[in-house]
Amino acid sequence: MSTKSHSQYQVLIDLIRNKKWYYLGSVISVGIASYFMFLVPTIGKEAIDRVLTEPRVEKEDLVQRMIDWAGGAEMLANQLWLAGGAIVLVTIVSGLFMYLKDYLAASACESTVQRLRDHLYHHLHHLSEKYIGSAESGDILQRCTSDIDTLREFLTMQVMNIGRTLVLMAIVIPLMFMQHAGMTLLSLILVPIVLYYARKFFFQVRDLFQQVDEAEGALTTIVQENLTGIRVVRAFARQDYECEKFEEKNSTYSDLNYRLICMFANFWAFSDLLCLLQSGLVLFGGGWLASQGVITVGTYFAFIGYTSMLIWPIRQLGKELSEAGKATVAITRIQEILDAPEETSSAKAMHLPERFKGTIEFDQVSFGYEPDRQVLNDVSFSIRAGETVAIVGPTGAGKSTLIQLLMRLYDYGKGSIKIDGMELKHIGRKHIRGQIGTLLQEPFLFSRSLRENIKFSHLKASDEAMVLAAKSAAVHHTIESFQKGYETVIGERGVSLSGGQKQRVTLSRTLLKEPPILVLDDTLSAVDAATEQQIIQALHSKKGEQTLLIITHRISVCQKADRVFVMQNGRLVEQGSHRNLLTKHGFYRELWEIQSGQKERFEQDVSSAKQQGDIELGVT
Neighbouring CB atoms inside 10 A of 472's CB total 21
pTM of the model: 0.68
Question: 449 and 375, same structural domain?
Answer: yes
State the pLDDT at residue 495. 65
Question: 384 and 317, same structural domain?
Answer: no
* Domain membership flag for residue 353: no
CA end-to-end span of the chain: 75
Question: 372 and 251, same structural domain?
Answer: no
Q: Is the dihedral of CA 430, 436, 441, 446 positive or negative?
A: positive
CA–CA gap between residue 428 and residue 126 (Å, rounded): 13
Distances (CA, A) of 181 to 39, 177, 178, 191, 308: 18, 5, 7, 16, 17
CA–CA gap between residue 177 and residue 180 (Å, rounded): 5
State the pLDDT at residue 31. 82
Mapped onto helix, strand or coil, the DSSP state of residue 55 is coil
State the pLDDT at residue 348. 57
State the pLDDT at residue 563. 92
Question: 70 and 189, same structural domain?
Answer: yes
Question: 598 and 579, same structural domain?
Answer: no
State the pLDDT at residue 4. 46
* Domain membership flag for residue 175: yes
Question: 125 and 181, same structural domain?
Answer: yes
* Domain membership flag for residue 88: yes
| Among candidate residues 310, 339, 368, the one where a domain is terminated | 339
Question: 565 and 599, same structural domain?
Answer: no
* Domain membership flag for residue 4: no
How high is the mean pLDDT in each 10-residue block of the chain (620 residues)? 50 72 85 83 75 63 63 64 81 90 85 85 83 75 82 80 80 84 88 82 78 81 77 77 86 89 84 86 88 83 83 77 76 84 67 86 90 87 91 88 89 89 87 86 81 88 89 87 87 70 86 88 72 76 82 83 90 89 85 72 54 45
Question: 545 and 618, same structural domain?
Answer: no
Adjacency order of strands within the sheet including 388-392: 436-439, 517-521, 547-551, 388-392, 563-568, 571-576
Number of domains in the chain: 3
* Domain membership flag for residue 346: no
Q: What range defines the domain where residue 578 resides? A: 360-584
Question: 509 and 364, same structural domain?
Answer: yes
Dihedral in degrees, nearest 10, Cα atoms 438, 439, 441, 446? 120
Structural Rg of the chain based on CA atoms: 38
Of 188, 209, 382, the closest CA to residue 303 belongs to: 188
* Domain membership flag for residue 2: no
* Domain membership flag for residue 557: yes
Dihedral in degrees, nearest 10, Cα atoms 568, 571, 573, 575? 110
Q: What is the CATH number of the domain that holds 148?
A: 1.20.1560.10
397-426 per-position pLDDT tens digit: 888 889 889 988 888 888 999 999 898 888
359-399 per-position pLDDT tens digit: 999 999 999 888 778 889 999 999 999 899 999 988 888 88
Question: 553 and 531, same structural domain?
Answer: yes
Question: 369 and 303, same structural domain?
Answer: no
Cα of 331 vs its chain's centroid, Å: 12
Amino acid 501 reads Q
State the pLDDT at residue 526. 63
Distances (CA, A) of 586 to 190, 376, 591: 87, 19, 9
Packing angle, helices 3-17 and 81-124, rounded to 10: 110
Neighbouring CB atoms inside 10 A of 272's CB total 12
* Domain membership flag for residue 1: no
Question: 593 and 578, same structural domain?
Answer: no
Q: What is the CATH number of the domain that holds 391?
A: 3.40.50.300
